[in-house]
A and B are shown apart, each in its own frame.
Chain A
Amino acid sequence: KNEVEQSPQNLTAQEGEFITINCSYSVGISALHWLQQHPGGGIVSLFMLSSGKKKHGRLIATINIQEKHSSLHITASHPRDSAVYICSLIQGAQKLVFGQGTRLTINP
């Protein structure tokens, strides 16, 4: 079993819809990263969180340490949000473990 599982693997939605991407993990972590990767490869860090909830613009990330679960929400989705979203675990000493990613497509 993978240490980190993301769902769904692929998600297609219409512009304006509320999007939720889930990340479940089975190991102890010090923090969790949500990353965004656009075609072409560049990766942008969206959030790093170890508890509670963070919000940046239309993006919201939550984490429940007891349940080993995190979610990334996008409100009022837009075609420019189309990207691969990757959940990454930080396990001390900088080691990162990555989920397989969720490919999000927002249609106009």
Chain B
Amino acid sequence: KAGVTQTPRYLIKTRGQQVTLSCSPISGHRSVSWYQQTPGQGLQFLFEYFSETQRNKGNFPGRFSGRQFSNSRSEMNVSTLELGDSALYLCASRLGVDTEAFFGQGTRLTVV
């Protein structure tokens, strides 16, 4: 079956703009979580959605938001982009609680 698909793979944006990233989970997986990876901070948890509800949120400013649709696809939005938002954004899907996470290839965002 198809894996986790993230689009786009690469993105260049200007400071102050906003961006929307997309994640399609493995079919049947209802949990989607998002992570930011930077060289300095490593992998950090952004938020997690299950059945269209945000269940958990990391320590990121309100400029970072997300949502999940009824087909479990998820989007992440970052508004008023800052240079420090340049990172690899990864999403992972799971079948349920305490089950294995499957990661997408990530979206590499560069803010200039």
Residues of A near any B CB (own CB < 8 A): 30-31, 33, 35, 40-45, 48, 50, 86, 88, 90, 93-101
Contacts and interface: CB of A to CB of B under 8 A. Distances in A.
Contacts of A97: 45
Given A90-B98, A95-B48, A96-B35, 7 more contacts: A33-B100, A40-B105, A43-B90, A44-B103, A45-B101, A45-B103, A48-B100
Interface in B33-84: 33, 35, 37, 42-45, 48, 50, 55-56
A86 B56 contact: no
Question: Chain A binding site: helix, strand, loop or mixed by DSSP?
Answer: strand
8 contacts: A93-B97, A94-B48, A94-B97, A95-B56, A96-B45, A98-B35, A98-B43, A98-B44
Given A94-B31, A96-B35, A42 B56 contact: no
B21 interface: no
Interface of B: 31, 33, 35, 37, 42-45, 48, 50, 55-56, 88, 90, 92, 94, 97-103, 105-106, 108
Contact of A96 (B33, B97, B108): B33
Nearest to B107: A41
Nearest to A30: B98
Contacts of A31: 98
B103 A94 contact: no
Given A94-B33, A94-B55, A98-B42, A41 B106 contact: yes
Contacts of A101: 42-43
B42 A41 contact: no
A78 B108 CA distance: 28
Given A31-B98, A90-B98, A95 B90 contact: no
Contacts of B97: 93-94
A68 B35 CA distance: 24
A48 B37 CA distance: 21
B42 to A, nearest CB: 5
B101 A86 contact: no
Nearest to A91: B56
